[in-house]
Chain A
Amino acid sequence: EADIYQTPRYLVIGTGKKITLECSQTMGHDKMYWYQQDPGMELHLIHYSYGVNSTEKGDLSSESTVSRIRTEHFPLTLESARPSHTSQYLCASSDPLISGLKTDTQYFGPGTRLTVL
């Protein structure tokens, strides 16, 4: 069982509200990720971090922002939620490279199901 947590698990919110999705892990992993997943669709990487004070945008354009002030914490913020942001958001972290081979396994949190009305 992976020690990675997300809160809230479910969130229903009105358009225009600012929200922060929390993600924390207790495994000491340097790399952390945020994915967006719609029903029946593949995961899309929206943000990632190599470590403290390191954040990068992923492949899918997102209006969200992230921060990495502590190793264990990687929150995602939407300044003004819109119905198009309705989706499931998955946080993940991964363990280090092994002998230079990219076999690091990503451990996923349970996800946050966001609905914007």
Chain B
Amino acid sequence: DAGVTQSPTHLIKTRGQQVTLRCSPKSGHDTVSWYQQALGQGPQFIFQYYEEEERQRGNFPDRFSGHQFPNYSSELNVNALLLGDSALYLCASSLAPAGGRETQYFGPGTRLLVL
């Protein structure tokens, strides 16, 4: 079992560009959540996907969007990048949402630097 995988591991973009990050969930998991961790902060919830739909969303602007595919993998897209979007982006997978009591398994993250 490969666990949760994310790609790429590192990425450098310039302001105004768009970026797509990818996540493959742990085998058997159907729910994917995305988090942003800025320097010195705890991870901040961006959104969660289940059954190919966005089920919950944190306090992030519409520039942040996502998608879940039939095989449960997911993408996070960020448009019109700002310097403040520089962060580690974590993906977590779990079984069908159990109201937050399910264990979430995290990937190693994608480190995004916006110049």
Asked whether A and B interact, the reply is: no
A residues at B contact (CB < 8 Å): none
B residues at A contact (CB < 8 Å): none
